[in-house]
Amino acid sequence: MTTSEVVLKMFKIPVCLIMAGGRGSRYGSPSKVVVNVCGKPLIEHVIDVVKPLCGCVVIAISKHTSGFAVITKLCSRLYVECVETLGEDYVEDLSLLIYSLPKPTLVVSGDVFTYTSVIEDFTVKALKTDGDVVTMTILKNGVEELIGISLFKGCGGSWSNIAYDSSKAIDVDTPSDLEIVERLCRQGMLTA
């Protein structure tokens, strides 16, 4: 076991920040984070995936968050924090929050379906990778695509990417992405 793996097992990441305050423009509705997948809201799957790796889970919501009441109830029931951002822009909201949070901070979009083992693997690799910010990408047809998972080790400007096969995470940006996740669920292939 590497030093990074031991550190992650022993100490956890101080904060996991789940970004869920967007307008859902590609999906056609800001309600995608609360859409039911495998018997619970998509964002609850995200919480379940990151919670074992983090000392504290924070969900960033905004005036655009459809299902605001659902998410705040989830925060209470699952013992996670909810903070409200301005909701003007993902990068702006993330920037305001990331400067005030301890490092390293794991940031995960509220509309990404993945597994705890994938996030753990990414985090271990990211801790060993140069750069203040290390971002997980997925490979689709040989092209790296950002999916909304990053480890912030600092607030500086150096960035690195770690690419994963597209089977490791699904960014639910469109109704057809959601259909893929639901199909995998029905086939019993979606277990954290």
Residue 29 lies in a domain: yes
First-to-last CA distance in the chain?
Answer: 22
Q: Is residue 91 part of a domain?
A: yes
What is the CATH number for 153? 3.90.550.10
What is the pTM assigned to this prediction? 0.87
What's the pLDDT at 140?
86
* pLDDT the model gives residue 47: 92
- pLDDT, position 35: 80
Looking at residue 170, its amino acid is I
Q: pLDDT (tens digit, 9 = 90+) per residue, 95-136?
A: 889 999 999 999 999 889 898 999 999 999 999 999 999 999
More reliable by pLDDT, 40 or 188? 40
* pLDDT at 146 > cutoff 90: yes
* Angstrom distance (rounded) from CA 72 to CA 91: 22
Question: Which of 21-30, 105-114, 158-167, 172-181 is predicted with the least confidence, judged by mean pLDDT?
Answer: 21-30
Give the count of domains, the chain.
Answer: 1
Q: What is the mean pLDDT of residues 130-157?
A: 91
pLDDT score, position 192: 45
d(CA 184, CA 172) in angstroms, rounded, equals: 13
192 lies in some domain: no
* pLDDT at site 86: 81
Q: How confident is the model at residue 65 (pLDDT cuts 50, 70, 90)?
A: low
- In this structure, what DSSP letter does residue 101 have? S
> Helix H segments across 104-168?
116-128
44 pLDDT more than 80? yes
Say if 125 falls within a structural domain: yes
High-pLDDT (> 90) share of the chain, %: 37
Nearest to 50 by CA among 6, 128, 104, 87: 104
Domain that holds residue 9: 3-186
